Copies of this chain bind each other. A is one copy, B any other.
Amino acid sequence: MILCNHKILRQMKYIIHLKGGLAMSISADILRGHTDTIILARLMDGDSYGYEINKNISQRAGGAYGFKEATLYTAFKRLEQNGMIASYWGDDGPGARRRYYAITEAGMRQLAADRQEWAETKKVLDALILKGED
Q: Which residues of A contact B (CB under 8 A)?
A: 16, 18, 24-27, 29-34, 37-38, 41-42, 44-45, 57, 60-62, 65, 114-118, 120-122, 124-125, 127-132
Cross-chain contact A117 with B24 (CB below 8 angstroms): yes
- Residues in chain B near residue A131, CB distance under 8 A: 44, 115
Cross-chain contact B115 with A130 (CB below 8 angstroms): yes
Q: How many monomers of this protein are in the complex?
A: 2
CB distance from A113 to the nearest CB of B (A): 9
Contact of A125 (CB < 8 Å), options: B44, B118, B129: B118
- Residues in chain B near residue A29, CB distance under 8 A: 32-33
In the complex the two chains form, what is the Cα distance from A25 to B118 in whole Å? 10
Once A32-B33, A115-B130, A129-B118 are accepted as A-B contacts, the answer to whether A124 and B41 lie under 8 Å apart by CB is no
- Residues in chain B near residue A132, CB distance under 8 A: 45
Cross-chain contact B125 with A24 (CB below 8 angstroms): no
